[in-house]
Structure 1
Amino acid sequence: MDHRIRRVRDADVETVVTLVHELAEYEKAPQECHLTAGQLRTALFGPAPALYGHVAEVDGRIVGFALWFRNFSTWRGVHGIYLEDLFVRPEARGTGLGRALLAALAGECVRHGYARLEWWVLDWNPAVGFYTSLGAEAMDEWTVYRLTDEPLRRLAADPAGSA
């Protein structure tokens, strides 16, 4: 098997969108995934790109991806990488591609002097064992909060809380 990890290219966008939708299916939330090729292309290659990505190829065919963006640690005083999504198609799992994708991001961190590589994982995901085997630590003491849809619009419309 000939495999390699490389930066995502414009020509990869349609395939990566398909893989993102496969990830949403795997995570039992396909109805929540609305990503389009136009959105991803703009995020990756538009006038102000804020998203970056790598793909995993096997024999010239893309079978996995990692999409990420820079974050910033006020405590460390430097940037880091937040891994938004990592996915390898089932038939290519267990071949080292997940590790290779994470290693590419770790390499980005080291090359740019970033302090950390972070991501979220669902509790039931069997990859938890893989991540801990790499030395990743669960940040159990933190609770994730999210505003979307109507609550997000309501807060934006009423910043003083007068309603």
Structure 2
Amino acid sequence: MIRDATPADVPVIHAMVRELAEYEKALHEARASEEQLREALFGERPAAYAHIAETEDGEVAGFALWFLNFSTWRGVHGIYLEDLYVRPARRGGGYGKALLASLARICVERGYERLEWAVLDWNEPSIDFYRALGAQPQDEWTVYRLTDGALAKLGGE
């Protein structure tokens, strides 16, 4: 079952964000607090949205956290999937596909023309999973990021 996240889900979402960061070998970079997630997802002006995948007995199997982006070329919004995570014991049970399908339905229903995300180059199980769904890598694009000191330096100029 896939459902919209509620404020009561914030602790488990926070825990799964940390599990994902550990899987991606970057736990030291996962600094978001539960309160920050609560504000981002359920504050006065939500910046992101989340869906929860549950087992038949109500156990949380995984989540998807996403936000809207905008394509100037297409002239419409799209969805950027920030995190897709299924707990290891629940992988292979269809939860990841169900989470992605729920986001694809939102795109179709709202007229959004893109569902995009990034995956680490070494994460072959995920890459294989995404390709099996028909997703195509955007090899001609390279992601750039400013953080920490470089961001502060540029922002202070």
What TM-score does the superposition give when structure 1 sets the normalisation length? 0.94
Report the equivalent of 2:75.
77
Equivalent AA in structure 2 for residue 42 of structure 1: E
Alignment partner for residue 44 of structure 1, among 41, 54, 66? Answer: 41
Deviation track 1:55-94 (CA, whole Å, cap 9, x = no partner) reads 1111201120000000000000000000000000000000
Alignment partner for residue 62 of structure 2, among 64, 74, 77? Answer: 64
Cα drift, residue 137 of structure 1: 0.4
Report the equivalent of 1:161.
none
Report the equivalent of 2:140.
141
SS for the counterpart of 1:121 is coil
Matches within 5 A, 1:11-160: 11-58=8-55, 59-125=57-123, 126-158=125-157
- How far apart, in 2, do the equivalents of 1:96 and 1:43 lie? 27
- How far apart, in 2, do the equivalents of 1:85 and 1:121 lie? 10
SS for the counterpart of 2:105 is helix
- How far apart, in 1, do the equivalents of 2:73 and 2:48 lie? 23
Equivalent AA in structure 2 for residue 39 of structure 1: Q
Cα drift, residue 142 of structure 1: 0.5
Cα RMSD of the aligned pairs, angstroms, is 0.6
Larger Rg: 1
Sequence identity percentage: 62
- How far apart, in 1, do the equivalents of 2:19 and 2:61 lie? 11
Aligned residue pairs, count: 155
Equivalent AA in structure 2 for residue 50 of structure 1: A
Cα drift, residue 123 of structure 1: 1.1
SS for the counterpart of 1:66 is strand
Equivalent AA in structure 1 for residue 17 of structure 2: V
Cα drift, residue 119 of structure 1: 0.2
- How far apart, in 1, do the equivalents of 2:23 and 2:108 lie? 31
Cα drift, residue 121 of structure 1: 0.3
Deviation track 1:80-117 (CA, whole Å, cap 9, x = no partner) reads 00000000000000010000000000011011110110
Equivalent AA in structure 1 for residue 82 of structure 2: E
